[in-house]
């Protein structure tokens, strides 16, 4: 082997050995770094977990508040509906009473018209009757 090849190999070995020594020094200096990175990563993960659970808790609380508001609205609307149903029932009873009174009045009017016809009295003659003296009409 020529001498110059031997010298090149010596230089490569020296650089290689020096590189090995530098690598060993760097590894020695960074021996605690992976543990610190693990702790940092763990702390960041815990922070993210706490934030997400806090956000989830807040979301659940907001949903429960909205649910409470909705339930209150439902109760209010049901009360209004029940009140309106009662009013409707009262109005229907009043309407039925008015219909009964109207039919009774129409029957009495027909009976009166028949009696007037039997006695030969015209309906328009009622307008010509003298007014009672205690009447307040002018």
Residue at 94 is within a domain: yes
Is the pLDDT confidence value at 134 over 80?
A: no
Residue at 91 is within a domain: yes
Q: What percent of the chain has pLDDT over 70?
A: 61
Residue at 84 is within a domain: yes
* Chain centroid offset of residue 117 CA: 71
Cβ burial of 116 (10 Å; 0-12, 13-18, 19+) is middle
Domain that holds residue 70: 61-120
pLDDT band (50, 70, 90) for residue 128 = low
Residue 77 or 61, more confident: 77
Residue 30 vs residues 38, 41, 42: alpha-carbon distances, Å:
13, 17, 19
Residue at 33 is within a domain: no
Residue at 4 is within a domain: no
pLDDT band (50, 70, 90) for residue 74 = very high
Q: What percent of the chain has pLDDT over 90?
A: 35
Task: Convert the pLDDT of each residue in 45-60 to its tens digit.
Answer: 777 777 776 777 788 8
Residue at 35 is within a domain: no
| Domains contained in the chain, number | 1
- The confidence score (pLDDT) of residue 82 equals 96
Helices (H) and strands (E) in the chain, counts: 3, 0
- The confidence score (pLDDT) of residue 86 equals 96
Residue at 34 is within a domain: no
């Amino acid at each position: 082997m020529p001498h110059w090849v031997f010298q090149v190999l010596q230089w490569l070995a020296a650089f290689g050995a020096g590189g090995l020594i530098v690598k060993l020094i760097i590894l020695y200096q960074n021996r605690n770094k992976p543990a610190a990175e693990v702790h940092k990563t763990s702390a960041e993960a815990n922070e993210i977990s706490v934030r997400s659970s806090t956000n989830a808790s807040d979301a659940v609380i907001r949903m429960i508040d909205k649910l409470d508001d909705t339930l209150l609205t439902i109760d209010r609307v049901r009360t209004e509906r029940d009140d309106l149903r009662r009013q409707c029932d009262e109005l229907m009873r009043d309407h039925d009473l008015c219909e009964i009174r109207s039919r009774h009045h129409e029957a009495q009017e027909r009976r009166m018209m028949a009696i007037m016809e039997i006695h030969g009295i015209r309906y328009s003659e009622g307008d010509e009757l003298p007014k009672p003296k205690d009447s307040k009409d002018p």
